[in-house]
Amino acid sequence: MTRKTITVTETAFNAADEERRDGESWSDYLVRTATDTEHEPNTVAVENVDEIARRSAEMVEDRMTRR
């Protein structure tokens, strides 16, 4: 299996956080935006969306607390 790294900038994270619907989980947001016609198609197949969303959120939180 090929491992892919997804890098999330603080700006992109904040923009995505504002775009999420009320009560929408990060995994649901990623799946919706990957398949939603309002967004550019996501060309990366994501198998474990919950894990990626959790790690991305932890990374951003860690960076924000270091400031």
Domain ranges of the chain: 10-66
Q: What is the CA radius of gyration of the chain?
A: 12
pLDDT in tens, the chain (67 residues): 566 666 666 776 777 777 787 888 877 777 777 665 555 554 444 556 667 777 777 777 777 776 5
pLDDT of residue 47: 57
The dihedral built from the CA positions of residue 57, 58, 59 and 60, taken in this order, carries a sign that is positive
Asked whether the whole model's pTM tops 0.95, one would answer: no
